[in-house]
Amino acid sequence: MNNRMFKTAVAVLAATAALGLSACSSADETSSAPTTTAGSGFEDGKKVEGTQDGDAPMTTTVPNLPAPTVEELNARLTKAMAGQLTTEEKASFIEDAERDPDLVDKFVEAAKTNKVEAEITAVEAPVDGKLKAPADVTIDGEPVQGATVEFVASEGGWRVSHVFTCNIVKSAKLDSAACQD
């Protein structure tokens, strides 16, 4: 019986493949020579009269900001986690916050939901517009070993990295456009 089911499955598969191949063939199979046509100016890489070359890609210059103090980072982080940032402060608090205007609110909600507390304990030297700040972090009263909060330099100052923010937001099962891969 098992052998019969196997043969039936193979027969069905073969019939399906045959039908698929016949559906792909053309009605007129007299000519098997490939056909080609010359590409237009765009397709063949030739410059077409009256067109313009694009500008070189823009490079973003990382702002050269001095490292903030532990006190400055803690004051801003504490204010944010308490939900006390103004609209203007929210826009400059988290990297990529412009991708989701509610990102800071989601961050605050997630921190409250998971009872996240964070206190910056040191500030490392900035490297390529980023700095790491070791922190005492607890989630629901449990300490997180080796925790750091990463900050990113921007025109408006140091922003909390979206990676740290999104980890907090996702831990509360919240979604944000700024946290999409």
Q: Which residue has the tokens 């973003």?
A: 60
* CB-CB neighbours of 22 under 10 Å: 8
Q: What is the pLDDT of residue 49?
A: 59
Q: Could you tell me if 87 and 111 are in contact, meaning their C-beta atoms sit under 8 angstroms apart?
A: no
pTM of the predicted structure, to 2 decimals? 0.63
User: Which CATH class, in words, describes the domain spanning 70-173?
Assistant: alpha beta
Pairwise CA distance, residues 147 & 90, whole Å = 23
Q: What is the pLDDT of residue 24?
A: 41
Q: What is the pLDDT of residues 66-120, one digit of tens each?
A: 999 999 999 999 999 888 999 889 889 999 888 898 999 999 999 999 999 999 9
Comparing 39-43, 78-82, 147-151, 174-178, the range with the smallest average pLDDT is 39-43
* CB-CB neighbours of 111 under 10 Å: 23
